[in-house]
Structure 1
Amino acid sequence: MGIINLQEDNSLIRELTDRRVVESLPFAGRYRLIDFALSSMVNSGIQNVGIMLPDKPRSVLDHLRSGKDWDLARRHDGLFYLPAPHDEESRRRGDLKNFYYNLDFFEHSSQKYVLLAGGSFVYNINFNELLRFHQNTNADITMVYYTAAQEAAGRSTVIETAENGLVEDIAEKPAIYDGSKVSMNVFLMEKRIFVEMIRYSYEHGGQDLLLDGIIRRADEYNIYAYEHDGYVAHVDSTASYYKANMDILEPSVWEELFMGENSIYTKVKDEVPVQYKDTAVVKNSLIANGCIIRGEVENSILFRGVTIEEGVKVKNSIIMQKCDVQENSLLENVICDKNVVITKEKWLKGAQNYPLIVAKNVVI
């Protein structure tokens, strides 16, 4: 069975997560971040998926609905929503209380293994290879990691391993460095171990599943690490969200994520194709259905239903659904949230490593 935990820290990306969780952030023109973990599970044959809902679940529920677009609207198993307990039931912080209050769901499932994942990573993985690795090593817990190619800020779980993959050290750190082995918040274990971990950790005062259930009890488990050598992006800040979207414009990244054997699924919306008018000039950009382009767009991502009027120049920017950029405006290094209107002859420009953000429904 698959479990996607939506209880994640959004303190470094609050500008975009005021009314939504990180996992429901729009990404790459038509997707949401949760699509990558969920699609990888479905492509690996997982038919029973539980979604650990956050305190603000509306955007997630609206996107996933019955799970039909991921073939999870089933008579048996399928997609399940696991709500967080009310504050008066448990004042304890952290995600461990959510797992504990949904223990009956895990215990009554028929699957032998539990695959636990976060929803803020961008990747495309076949988890069947992870399962074979887990069985061959006789591990209690197998965690998936990637090797960082550059330094990055933001709290991450860094590990050290032996040559055979045995985890020798695991710790949460405020930054990662080039060459660090960084956890992707994906853990595979037998259900009996998972249930015991939740019950013991919560009943002994624990708050966080990773910290209290795994890191502090690491000596009690036989933990191995499995390396994913493909593309990985962790969206935990505004800068990392912007960079991950810009990475998608690289053909090698796009082809690995979306053009391989395993598809990434999302909520389907039937809209007309893009309309490129006579004055349109588009270079190295990703344009979703329903857009109307009369101006210039370069190195940018436009979501569904965006209108770019004549004389407009958009460069190195992310324009989300239903935005309207009116005549002779200029946008460079900008992120526009949904339903933004940029009126005539406005110039907006952010820094290359930190874009300017325009909040949802704003008129400038």
Structure 2
Amino acid sequence: MKNECMGLINLDSIQNPSVNVLSDHRPVATIPIAGRYRLIDFTLSNMVNSGITNVGIYAREKYRSLTDHLGSGKDWDLSRKQGGLYVLSPEIAKNNNNYGYRKGDIYTILANIDYIEKSPEEYVIVAPSYMICSIDYNDLLKYHKKSNNDITIVYKRVENANKDFKNCNTLNIDKDKLVKNVGNNLNTFPSANICMDTFIMKRTDFIECIYSIASMGTYSYIEDYIINQLDNIQVGAYKYEGYLKCITSLKSYYEASKEFLTEDVSREIFKSDRKIFTKDKSQAPTMYGENAEVKDSFIATGCQIDGTVEDSTLFRKVKIGKGSIIRDSVIMQSCKIGENVVLENVILDKNVVISDNKELKGDKDYPMVIEKNETV
């Protein structure tokens, strides 16, 4: 796929998910997950693993943490003279004389359209940051070329749509694998073709499409335009078979954190040949005290553990005091937990301090969340 397809990661999609207080001060794309990663790492790594070396990220707002995490792109081998990684700010749109500042990914893309126009690749893949999967875009490109579709959308057939994919779009697909209409998953039926909000098309067609939509002024999001043009353009469907988690709520984030601890999911996502890349933050090894007991958990580097940790995820530099018990919880970077503390079904954002002898318990379906930098 190298030099044949460019990638766009869209953080300004119509879905615009919110993950409770975890996304109050950061975009969903940079929410920490699985001990050392951010959500955007999965989509970005899928592109890099597929040979895509020109990636643009359309930011929305609160993207300081995004630029801090991505840096020059060197951790994804995207610090290059040709191609590379580009974070494209939506603020440029405020000075656009033709269209002004308007909400929606159409106008964010339009404000930075010169980046796409100058790119040499023939095709463009657009994907969100909140769909966690391990997909080979080379297979998608081959399918798209063979099908002669104007646009090919990626989907997954699931049997748990009424539980895990609330408000995601669903595709009605005919026998020729063409998309006939798009609906919204209202959690009514378990079986559904879940749209992964990922599609491929020719780069020149994509540019023409953006200009056309903007000139009409009818749509703010490219997704709306595609849905309303199904009778006029050929939109095909590519079936993805692997693990998929859509992070659009606190519940789905917590479930993903638990699922990553299972052997099957961990092997597919983290232990395959398709590596998940992230910002390198080397730390000293974790220290386990004489009272430490850890079971079925992910423990990052630089931690100090002198208590019990079960079915939980600990990020870097977390400290667990003597006699403390951590169960079914997510403890983010640099949290300090005192002695004789009990945490169950709890998510601690960064730099939270829990003093001695505290007991915090959330529900397994709706965990308790403590905001960043809080002291309890």
Q: Distance in 1 between matches of 2:188 and 2:126?
A: 22
Q: Which amino acid aligns with 1:171?
A: G
Q: What is the CA distance between 1:172 and its match in structure 2?
A: 3.6
Show the 5 A alignment for 1:1-364.
1-8=6-13, 9=15, 12-85=18-91, 88-89=94-95, 90-150=100-160, 151-152=162-163, 154-175=166-187, 177-205=189-217, 206-212=219-225, 214-364=226-376
Q: Distance in 2 between matches of 1:297 and 1:358?
A: 18
TM-score by length of 2: 0.94
Give the letter for the 1:183 counterpart.
C
Q: Secondary structure at the match of 1:195?
A: helix
Contact residue 156 and residue 175 of structure 1 kept, 8 A: no
The structural deviation recorded for 1:163 is: 3.0
User: 2:102 is aligned with what amino acid?
Assistant: R
Q: Residues 187 and 11 from structure 1, CA distance in 2 versus in 1: closer, same or farther, beyond 3 angstroms?
A: closer
Query: Aligned partners of 1:11, 1:288: CA distance in 2, in Å?
Result: 27
Q: Distance in 1 between matches of 2:118 and 2:213?
A: 20
Residue 88 of structure 1 deviates from its aligned partner by 4.4
More displaced 10-residue stretch of structure 1: 190-199 or 246-255: 190-199
Number of aligned residue pairs: give it.
Answer: 363
- Is the Cα–Cα contact under 8 Å of residues 92 and 111 in structure 2 kept in the other structure? no
Q: Matched residues in 2 for 1:274 and 1:73: separation?
A: 31
TM-score by length of 1: 0.97
1:177 is displaced (CA, Å) by 3.6
Give the deviation of 1:342 after TM superposition.
Answer: 0.3
Amino acid at match of 1:165: K
**In structure 2, C-alpha distance between the alignment counterparts of 1:189 and 1:32, rounded to whole Å:** 27
Q: Deviations over 1:130-165 (max 9, x none)?
A: 111111111111111112231136421110112332
Separation in 1 of the partners of 2:19 and 2:40? Answer: 16
Residue pair 1:85, 1:97 contacting (<8 A) in 2 also: no
Structure 2: gaps spanning 5 or more residues: 1-5
Identity %: 40
Change in CA separation of 1:145 and 1:282 when aligned onto 2, cut-off 3 Å: same
Please give the per-residue CA displacement for 1:162-187, whole angstroms capped at 9, x wherever unaligned: 23321122234454742110111111
